[in-house]
Amino acid sequence: MLHDHLKVVRFERQVRLLDRAAEFMAERGKAGPDRKIPLNVALPLLEAATLEEDNDLQDLWVRLLVNGTDGDRPDEIERSFVSILRDMSRLDAEILQKIGDADNGTGVWTAELPELAISYRRGSERPAEKQEPSDDVNISLSNLTRLGVIDPTAGFGGPMSRGLVRLTPLGRALLRAVSA
């Protein structure tokens, strides 16, 4: 009985995935895909996307799928994007997006995350009394570092700190791949 229930839930997630993909395509004025995704990327992507129960995270999968099949976009989907998204929580995705929005190439202060990411300006002081992010945010930043999408920065001869981070080229590419 449990197996049957899981099949129904997965089917519902597949239907939502297809509906959202059609919506995102229609927003671009496209009737359907005009570029193929390699099978070794498409199958794991579809499997992971249909197992995702969080709608916001599933929408990232849908954007990855739609962007990968859009011939007008220059970037192709990297295989690594599938495993990175699979290992991200909702908080990870939210924080990565905020870091991406605030990133100016020199770094982003993280002490106010998940509410606010503040761009670092050379010579500027830390913007808040709180020097380090909360435990939940620190765990998320650790995971994003492990996934290779952000780099913590080191102080002058000091230890690595997640109080100031930078997007990696992989992080920038992933954000482009899942952008609307």
d(CA 36, CA 109): 39
Domains detected in the chain: 2-86 (no CATH), 90-176 (1.10.10)
Q: What is the pLDDT of residues 66-112, one digit of tens each?
A: 999 998 888 889 999 999 999 999 999 999 999 999 988 888 889 88
Q: Could you give the count of Cα atoms lying within 13 Å of 19 in the half-sphere of its Cβ?
A: 7
Task: Please provide residue 123's backbone torsions phi and psi, each rounded to the nearest 5 degrees.
Answer: 85, -5
- pTM, whole model, 2 decimals? 0.86
